[in-house]
Amino acid sequence: MTDLRALSAAAVLFALAATGPARAAECPGNPDALGTSRTIVVDPTEHARLGMMQYSETLPLADHEVVLTFDDGPLPPYSTRILDILNAECVKATYFLVGRMAKAFPDVVRKLHAAGHTLGTHSNSHPFTFNRMSPEQADAEVEGGIASVADALGDRNAVAPFFRIPGLLRSDTTERYLASRSLMTWSADFPVDDWKHISASAITARALERLEAKRRGMILLHDIQPATALAMPTILKELKRRGYRIVHVVPATPDRVKTATLPSDWQVNRGGKNGKWPKPATGAVIADAVLPIPAPSSFGLAEPFSPDEIASLPRLQFFASARGQVPLPPASPWSRLKTNYQPVDPLAAADQAVLPAPGLTSFGYADDFAPMIPEHALTQKQASFPPQPGAKSTRQSSARQSNASDVTSSVRRRPARQKVETAGVLRFLLTPRPARSM
């Protein structure tokens, strides 16, 4: 691992030495140019999807390194104005061109290529349906865009195998199709929202604010927006003043070897100290690790603990709130758990104990109240049983049922008696009765 890191560091130093910051001789007319710090050569077959906005990998950039990307062009005069600004600062960028735009302005496409910028594609007609396209539809859009840019350049090999999905509306189907064509899918690390038709000052402020938050990354811009053309001089000036360096990205070819990197250099770090997750020690085995059983102290209890401490745990409130119910009181309304064994094991008691039957006081009634079962309720209950020896006649039973209806109506007119009668029905239902003969 140490040798690999040394090799990666040596490769980066070599790249910086070979493609270091633009000097005055390299940027005529601008001795204070921002320039291009270095060039990264990437292999699309090894890293199929990039951009921390959507994916787990992004470009292997060091601290304060920036990649500029532009979508939707070319569209003069805005694209040509931005091209002039980049050329004046000797800055290289990556363009994602729309096929129909390249077909309409092929001379601008040739100017971008002649200036040394990387030209990827952005579909043929920029539809916002890539998230639900079939592979056949995606093939027509992707290949149509590549063909239009290749026709403008007169060389298909001059088109980089880089593709950005319009609107970043990704789907697994589209991404699998792009990977099968050895096309690298580019998302972005952060946008500047210039497509929302905001002012040049707002574009500058968002670009610098979001870059400062991440301290590196690929910026998503649009060279067809007039406000973006107005913002670019200030953005480049501020990047230089704040110590940022421009990185150019090109695809690997048989004559151009990919830049040596480690797999971890491409990983998106989310969280942890300084934005990075802690890394396990080399050779550490964690797959077979077994966590210890939590001690009572993990739940705020002393060791040894008592049944009272167990009963005071807020586990009932937890499960109630998890179901969206009203939390229960901290202690159980029933009597304490009892067993026939001494001393009491609170955990065993919780498994073996039987809760007592609830009393009438549990429902808000006095324990010694009267009257007993209302006559109409008793009659309605007995009506469902077979006649017992000595029972009254059917006519008498019907009369009682009629009287019960009158009483029920009376109760409805007098709500104050309803609580007492309901309690009476409850006592009747809870009173044991002799089994019926078959």
pLDDT at 36 over 50: yes
- Does 419 or 193 have the greater pLDDT score? 193
Residue 269 shares a structural domain with residue 299 = no
Residue 301 shares a structural domain with residue 372 = yes
pLDDT at 384 over 50: no
Q: Phi first, then psi: what are they for 400, rounded to 5°?
A: -65, -40
Q: Binning pLDDT at 50, 70 and 90, where does residue 271 land? A: low
Residue 51 shares a structural domain with residue 195 = yes
Number of structural domains found in the chain: 2
Residue 229 shares a structural domain with residue 338 = no
pLDDT at 33 over 70: yes
- pLDDT at position 303, please? 55
Place of tokens 């002799």: 434
- pLDDT at position 247, please? 98
Residue 136 shares a structural domain with residue 263 = yes
Residue 123 shares a structural domain with residue 264 = yes
49-50 and 184-186: which strand pairing? parallel
**In 26-69, alpha helices (H):** none
List pLDDT tens digits, range 8-23.
444 444 444 344 444 4
Q: Binning pLDDT at 50, 70 and 90, where does residue 272 land? A: very low
**Domain assignment of residue 387, yes or no:** no
| Domain hosting residue 300, numbered range | 292-351+358-381
Interatomic CA distance for residues 403 and 48, integer angstroms: 85
Residue 304 shares a structural domain with residue 216 = no
- pLDDT at position 197, please? 87
Neighbour tally for 115: CB within 10 Å: 15
